[in-house]
Chains A and B, each alone.
Chain A
Amino acid sequence: MPLNIDWQQILLHWMNLAILTGGLYFLLYKPVREFMDKREEHYRQLDREAADKLAQAEQVKAEYQAKLDGAEEEVRQMKARSQQSVQKSAEEQLAQAQNQARQIIAHAQAEAEHSRERVLKESQRELRKLAAQATKKLAFHADPFDQFLDLAEEEEEYEE
């Protein structure tokens, strides 16, 4: 054969390469590859766990945020209700006070009216009484001028 090509030696080389390929595969390539895969799976698992935990944390955060938003809304509503209640109470108290004031005023007016009527009646009665006394005196005494003078004298004597 040209170039000293020898098929027997080529077959021996093939056999040698087959042994080498099989040997290196089972002794080195496969175990190292498996270890690398195992480590990759380990870190992928860690990554998945971290992602799961992150998702859980996000979910909890969202829940708390929702709760917080709900609480804020509740507080706002309570505050509004409280303000409404306070305002209503103040209005009621104001109305009550105004009512009381009106009542007091009405009562005072009525009382004042009553007092005025009573005083007027008493004055009228007194006037009638005085008129009656005067009439009586006029009817039973001769000269009123003398009476007047007598009275004046009596008063002067009394003063002295």
Chain B
Amino acid sequence: MKHRKMGLVLWIAVVLALLAGALLVGSAGRTESVQEAMRDAVLHNINQISLFGMKAVNPGLISAFLVTAALLLAATLIRLLAVPRFQYRPGKLQLVLEEVVGLFDGMARSSSPHRFRFVGAYIFAAGSFIFVGTLFELLGLQAITVHGHPITLPAPLSDVNAAIALGTLSYLVILSGGVAANGIKGVGKTLKEFSLPISMSFRLFGALLSGLLVTELVYYYVNLSFVLPVIVGVLFTLLHALIQTYVLTMLTSLYYGEVSERSEPKKKKVRTAQI
């Protein structure tokens, strides 16, 4: 009992000492005001990163490449090490993988029962990208801007270009389903939903950006950097990841199923001769 109390007192003392140290030492000085930081979080026109020395790009693109590389690396390792050892009675890892694949496959089958192979594979990739990409910002990976300042790599979809790319690609996937199933009629069916790419893109962008702005705001002031980030940074990000993954994949599979449904030929009216 005495040891417990001693440990508790020691732990509180260490926390207080670190807090005092952080407040006394202060930061190295701000390179930008909060307005500039918030504006740059939206527009990414200041803190850009060089892409292999060819072009200055938004940090979101670098994040997207890193997320893709991480996902493909994990997939390769799983393919080489885990998949050959799959058994009819699954282990924990196999159960998780089957659950994830089965989730997207089931979503594709239920939303688009007549044509689900391709859309299942697409929403699996898109869902993985959104989920892992959103959680990616929790890692706080650092990168150096073209101006030499360090920045934390954001979630890929907090970049408007990534959100537009994913929204329009999803729309093209839906369009391809319509063309594959109904030809020209499928194009017409898909074009009826012309607002879909815009709504998808900006839904993703807005959701991810709002999280990013709140996080930026919280981290900008050192006094807010205690306890609060656990709720703002972790819980909100997790919620964002789950919700946005579900929303985009569900919408894509639903619209895909709708436009790829074969339309029945209209029955010709038979005129009966009237005597």
Please determine whether chains A and B interact with each other in the same assembly: yes
Binding site for B on A (CB under 8 A): 3-6, 8-14, 16-17, 19-21, 23-25, 27-33, 35-36, 39, 42
Tally the A-B contacts, defined by beta carbons under 8 Å: 114
* Beta-carbon contact of A12 and B61 below 8 Å: yes
- Main SS of the interface on chain B? helix
Tell which of A17, A24, A29, A33 touches B166, judged by Cβ atoms closer than 8 Å: A17
Tell which of A11, A13, A25, A32 touches B125, judged by Cβ atoms closer than 8 Å: A25
Q: Give the nearest-CB partner of B165 in chain A.
A: A13
Count, chain B residues at interface, CB 8 A? 44
A139, chain B: closest CB distance, angstroms: 143
Note all chain A residues with C-beta closer than 8 A to B165: 10-11, 13-14, 17
Note all chain A residues with C-beta closer than 8 A to B78: 27-28
Note all chain B residues with C-beta closer than 8 A to A6: 57-58, 161
**Contact A24:B64 (CB < 8 A) given known A12-B57, A13-B161, A32-B83:** no
Q: Give the nearest-CB partner of A18 in chain B.
A: B169
Note all chain B residues with C-beta closer than 8 A to A11: 165
Tell which of B71, B101, B122, B168 touches A32, judged by Cβ atoms closer than 8 Å: B101
Note all chain A residues with C-beta closer than 8 A to B19: none
- Beyond A20-B129, A29-B120, 8 additional contacts (C-beta under 8 Å) are A5-B161, A9-B61, A10-B165, A13-B161, A29-B101, A29-B125, A32-B83, A33-B105
A11, chain B: closest CB distance, angstroms: 8
* Beta-carbon contact of A13 and B64 below 8 Å: yes
B10-18, B41-49, B241-249 - the one binding chain A: B41-49
B202, chain A: closest CB distance, angstroms: 10
* Beta-carbon contact of B44 and A4 below 8 Å: yes
Q: Please provide the chain B residues from 161 to 185 with a CB less than 8 Å away from any CB of chain A in the complex.
A: 161-162, 164-166, 168-169
Q: Please provide the chain B residues from 12 to 65 with a CB less than 8 Å away from any CB of chain A in the complex.
A: 42-45, 55, 57-58, 61, 64-65
